[in-house]
Amino acid sequence: MLDVDPYAALQKLRPVGSFTVTSEDFEDGGPLARPQWSAGAGGVDRSPELSWSGFPERTRGFAVTCLDVDAPSGSGWWHWAVANLPAATTALPAGAGAPGAPGLPHGAVVLRNEDGDRGFCGAAPPRGTGVHRYVFVVHALDAPSLDLDPDLSPAGLGNRCFFHALARGIITGTANRD
């Protein structure tokens, strides 16, 4: 397993600033708490608390994504994608990723994860595949909202974020079932 930033290639193509993202549920580079695991792997599919600061003043909105970069798919596994968060949003409470959760601001758009659900899908690395990194990215955007088809993929949201990003904050959690 390579220890690389999955967004490094994007930063080389179009550098953007960075800012701080923290969580009360896990430390950057540390293991995800059991509630952030999939129900099928002993968790409860609860999205972690995320807080951010230090983003550019001209930020007009945010998007949040979570990608397992070590999934044995060759293209990662999208666990969560939320867009159209207002610029005044500087945190999401634990559990905000549940379908219909009250923790998301009005107007937020939740896209389908790789399991096909609109919400946070917890960690469930297949046995024998080692440590997986779950990269949570908060994208600071130059637009208050993105015109998104609700059936757009998280990768499609990533493409939109690429063109609207002012900065991104990253925090990574890990999980292992070996």
pLDDT tens by residue, 72-103 = 988 899 999 999 999 999 999 999 988 777 88
State which CATH number among 3.50.50.60, 3.30.413.10, 3.90.280.10, 3.40.50.720 fits the domain covering 18-175.
Answer: 3.90.280.10
Quick one: pLDDT band at residue 15, thresholds 50, 70, 90? confident
Question: Does 3 have pLDDT greater than 60?
Answer: no
Question: Does 10 have pLDDT greater than 80?
Answer: no
| pLDDT tens-digit map of 95-135 | 998 877 788 999 999 999 999 999 999 999 999 999 999 99
**Buried/exposed code over 115-132 (b: 16+ C-beta within 10 A; e: otherwise):** eeebbbbbbbbeeeeeeb
What count of Cα atoms within 13 Å lies in the side-chain half-sphere of residue 37?
17
Listed by start position, the domains of the chain span 18-175
Residue 54, Ramachandran bin (φ over 0: left; ψ between -120 and 50: alpha; else beta) = left
How far is Cα 20 from Cα 53, in angstroms, rounded to an integer?
Answer: 5
Residue 2 has a pLDDT of: 47
Which whole number is the average pLDDT over 28-41? 96
Residue 4 has a pLDDT of: 57
| pLDDT tens-digit map of 133-161 | 999 999 999 999 999 998 999 999 999 99
Query: Which single residue is written with the structure tokens 């998280």?
Result: 154
Supply the DSSP symbol for 67. E
Residues 6+ apart with CB under 8 A from 87: 59, 60, 61, 62, 144
Question: Does 37 have pLDDT greater than 70?
Answer: yes
Amino acid at 4: V
Q: What is the pTM of this model?
A: 0.92
Residue 1 has a pLDDT of: 42
Please state, rounded to an integer, the average pLDDT across all residues of the chain. Answer: 91
Among 3-7, 19-23, 53-57, 77-81, the least confident range = 3-7
Taking a C-beta distance cutoff of 8 angstroms, is the pair 50, 136 a contact? Answer: yes
How far is Cα 163 from Cα 153, in angstroms, rounded to an integer?
Answer: 16
Amino acid at 164: H
